Structure 1
Amino acid sequence: MKRMLTTSRYWIYAVLAIAFMASCASSKKSSSPHVYMNKQYKELKDVLNQAEVSIINDSVKVIFPNNVLFASSSDQLKEEIKPTFGRFAAILNKYNKTKILITGHTDSTGTASYNRELSEKRAVSAKALLGEYKVNNDRMFTWGLADRHPIATNSTEEGKARNRRVEFVILYDVKE
């Protein structure tokens, strides 16, 4: 009888150990996107000194200010930003389990239709340059938001300058 109890106890320990290991494996798997995005965030933060890089939940946001990317009222990227975009693209290519939403923004100067068109052209221009650096076009989506989401006041020149920007929101692709 004592031997039977000891054997039963070993079986219980074995089942508990297997259940514990299985739960650890599944929790590792569920935290995988979080770890993946944190690694990408850290690399982007190190490489992109001209941009604001932040992590929100499991997405990474990169904001390039207008004065770094474009001349005033232009959608043509400045030549001097191309090396930075090359480094940005290299990290995006390394972490290819993501989708990238590229949003263009303007200040409130100009008509609504002009701002909408300019913001979309800026987003498309940024997407095209990343495409030149082999970032897969199927991963990138553009959206012109005009002056709808200001990050500063439009009543000062400094605020307007901050509002003229391109943002990249990098999201983990759950289909991967």
Structure 2
Amino acid sequence: MKKMLSASRFWLSVAAAIVFLASCATSKKAINPHTYMNKQYKELKSVLNDAEVSIIKDSVKVIFPNNVLFASSSDELKEEVKPTFERFAGVLNKYDKTKILITGHTDNTGAAAYNRDLSEKRAASAKRLLGSEKVSSDRMFTWGLSDRDPIAGNDTEAGKARNRRVEFVILYDVKQ
């Protein structure tokens, strides 16, 4: 009788251990990228009042208009944008399974070489500010697109103002 009780306790312990290990294994499953990016999108949408935040498939796009970040013809970030970037960086740091492409843009006013240089400097300034907020530089990539990707017509001042911007495309890092 004692042997049977001892054997049943053993098998009960084995079964409990298997159930426990199985539950741990399922809780450590890889996070669904779509779910992960949707959560990040919702959080960014709630903390970034001055930016357009949209989700396209499994990437999040954040557009900061020029008048929020830079003075005209400048790559120096405005001082008043720092609290917004602190909130932005906080979300980026929370969702660290992503890579961030930072693109700088200009309108079509001025020489092509000047616009290319300015757009690259704007992207680099945004990267530096995020880096100062502890966003890993290994996750960020910059690209100056000059006036090659307008989101509005360059035939009006309002359109030109919209085209002078910095965009962030946040992508799930499949290597995570």
Query: In which range does the TM-score fall when normalised by the shorter chain?
Result: 0.7 to 0.9
In the alignment, which residue of structure 2 is the partner of 1:138?
A: 138
- Alpha-carbon displacement from aligned partner over 1:64-89 (angstroms, at most 9, x marks no partner): 00000000000000000000000000
Alignment partners' CA distance in 2, 1:112 and 1:93: 35
Does residue 152 of structure 1 match 2:141?
A: no
Alignment partners' CA distance in 2, 1:156 and 1:64: 19
Alignment partners' CA distance in 2, 1:141 and 1:158: 29
Segments of 4+ in structure 1 off by > 3 A? none
Does residue 49 of structure 1 match 2:77?
A: no
Alignment partners' CA distance in 1, 2:78 and 2:134: 19
In the alignment, which residue of structure 2 is the partner of 1:167?
A: 167
Please show how residues 34-113 of structure 1 align to structure 2 within 5 Å.
Answer: 34-113=34-113
Amino acid at match of 2:98: T
- Alpha-carbon displacement from aligned partner over 1:38-70 (angstroms, at most 9, x marks no partner): 000000000001000000000000000000000
Q: CA RMSD in A?
A: 1.4
Query: 3-state DSSP class of the match of 1:175?
Result: coil
Query: If the length of structure 1 is used for normalisation, what is the TM-score?
Result: 0.83
Amino acid at match of 2:62: V
Alignment partners' CA distance in 2, 1:152 and 1:30: 40
Query: 3-state DSSP class of the match of 1:155?
Result: coil
Report the Cα offset of residue 31 of structure 1: 7.1
Alignment partners' CA distance in 1, 2:56 and 2:44: 14
Alignment partners' CA distance in 2, 1:89 and 1:30: 24
In the alignment, which residue of structure 2 is the partner of 1:20?
A: none
In the alignment, which residue of structure 2 is the partner of 1:16?
A: none
Question: What are the ranges of 5 or more consecutive residues in structure 1 without an aligned counterpart?
Answer: 1-24
- Alpha-carbon displacement from aligned partner over 1:126-162 (angstroms, at most 9, x marks no partner): 0000000000000000000000000000000000000
Alignment partners' CA distance in 1, 2:43 and 2:52: 13
Alignment partners' CA distance in 2, 1:82 and 1:106: 21
Query: If the length of structure 2 is used for normalisation, what is the TM-score?
Result: 0.83
Alignment partners' CA distance in 1, 2:66 and 2:89: 19
